[in-house]
Amino acid sequence: MSYSPYGRYLWQYKADITSSNNSTALAVPNAAIDIHDATDLWLAAYVIGTPTGTTPTLNVQLDVFDYFGNLFAAELALTQLTGAVTKAQGSIGVHVQGTGTSLVLPATCQVSWTIGGTGGPKFPGVCISLLGR
Q: pLDDT, tens digit, for every residue of 74-117? A: 999 999 999 999 999 999 999 887 666 678 899 999 999 999 99
Q: What's the pTM?
A: 0.90
Compute, in degrees rounded to 10, the torsion defined by CA atoms 11, 12, 18, 19: 10
- Cα separation, 3 vs 27, in Å, equals 26
For domain 8-132, is the CATH number 2.60.120?
Answer: yes
